[in-house]
Structure 1
Amino acid sequence: MARDRSENQQYGSTRQHEASEHEKRDLFGKDDSEGAAHVSDDRLEARSEAEAPLISDVSADVAPVVEEFMGQAAQQNEAAAEAVPETRNKPGSYISFEHVSKSFDGFVVLEDVSFCVLPGETLCILGRSGVGKSVSLHMLMGFLKPDSGTIRVAGDDITSYDERKMQIVRRKLTMVFQNGALFDSITVGENVAFPLRERGELTEEQILQVVKGLLEMVGVAGMEDILPSDLSTGMKRSVAIARALAAQPEAILYDEPTTMVDPLMAHLLGDLIERLKQQLHLTSIVVTHDMRFAKKLADRVVFLHAGKAHFFGTMEEMEKSDDPILREFLQLDELVMPNS
Structure 2
Amino acid sequence: MAESQNNGEGALPDENEPLMEEVSPDVAPVVEEFMEQAAQQNEAAVEAVPDVRNKPGSYISFDHVSKSFGGFVVLEDVSFCVNPGETLCILGRSGVGKSVSLQMIMGFLKPDSGVIRVAGENICGYTEKELQEVRRKVTMVFQNGALFDSITVGENVAFPMRERGDMEEDQILKVVKGLLEMVGVAGMDHLLPSDLSTGMKRSVAIARALAAQPEAVLYDEPTTMVDPLMAHLLGNLIERLKQQLHLTSIVVTHDMRLAKKLADRVVFLSGGKAVFFGTMEEMERSDDPTVQEFLTLDELVMPA
User: TM-score, length-normalised on structure 1?
Assistant: 0.85
CA displacement at 1:280 relative to structure 2: 0.1
Give the secondary structure class of the aligned counterpart of 1:50: coil
The aligned residue for residue 3 of structure 2 is: none
AA of the residue aligned to 1:233: T
The reply on whether 1:160 has 2:160 as its aligned counterpart is: no
Residue deviations 1:24-57 (CA, integer Å, cap 9, x gap): xxxxxxxxxxxxxxxxxxxxxxxx9332111010
The reply on whether 1:169 has 2:139 as its aligned counterpart is: no
Alpha-carbon contact 1:270-1:297 (below 8 Å) kept: yes
CA displacement at 1:129 relative to structure 2: 0.4
- The partner residue of 2:75 within 110, 119, 125 is 110
Give the secondary structure class of the aligned counterpart of 2:14: helix
Alpha-carbon contact 1:101-1:149 (below 8 Å) kept: yes
Give the secondary structure class of the aligned counterpart of 1:293: helix
The aligned residue for residue 33 of structure 1 is: none
CA displacement at 1:106 relative to structure 2: 1.2
Residue deviations 1:202-250 (CA, integer Å, cap 9, x gap): 1110000000000000000000000000100000000000000000000
The reply on whether 1:135 has 2:112 as its aligned counterpart is: no
Give the secondary structure class of the aligned counterpart of 1:181: coil
Q: Structure 1 residue runs of 4+, over 3 Å off?
A: none
The aligned residue for residue 318 of structure 1 is: 283
- The partner residue of 1:91 within 27, 48, 56 is 56
The aligned residue for residue 87 of structure 2 is: 122
Give the secondary structure class of the aligned counterpart of 1:146: coil
Structure 2 alignment gaps of length 5 or more: 1-12
Give the secondary structure class of the aligned counterpart of 2:26: coil
- 1-side partners of 2:53 and 2:65: how far apart? 20
Aligned ranges 1:19-34 → 2 under 5 Å: none
- 1-side partners of 2:73 and 2:53: how far apart? 31
Aligned-residue Cα RMSD (Å) equals: 0.8
- 1-side partners of 2:70 and 2:183: how far apart? 40
- 1-side partners of 2:180 and 2:43: how far apart? 24
Alpha-carbon contact 1:50-1:278 (below 8 Å) kept: no
- The partner residue of 1:302 within 258, 264, 267 is 267
Give the secondary structure class of the aligned counterpart of 1:90: coil
Alpha-carbon contact 1:255-1:287 (below 8 Å) kept: yes
Aligned ranges 1:238-317 → 2 under 5 Å: 238-317=203-282
Percent identical among aligned pairs is 83
Give the secondary structure class of the aligned counterpart of 2:136: coil
CA displacement at 1:321 relative to structure 2: 1.5
AA of the residue aligned to 1:308: K
- 2-side partners of 1:223 and 1:127: how far apart? 35
The aligned residue for residue 329 of structure 1 is: 294
AA of the residue aligned to 2:200: M
AA of the residue aligned to 1:328: E
The aligned residue for residue 235 of structure 1 is: 200
The reply on whether 1:208 has 2:173 as its aligned counterpart is: yes
Give the secondary structure class of the aligned counterpart of 1:333: helix
Structure 1 alignment gaps of length 5 or more: 1-47
CA displacement at 1:331 relative to structure 2: 0.3
The aligned residue for residue 33 of structure 2 is: 68
Give the secondary structure class of the aligned counterpart of 1:175: strand
- The partner residue of 2:156 within 191, 203, 210 is 191
Aligned positions, number: 292
CA displacement at 1:323 relative to structure 2: 1.8
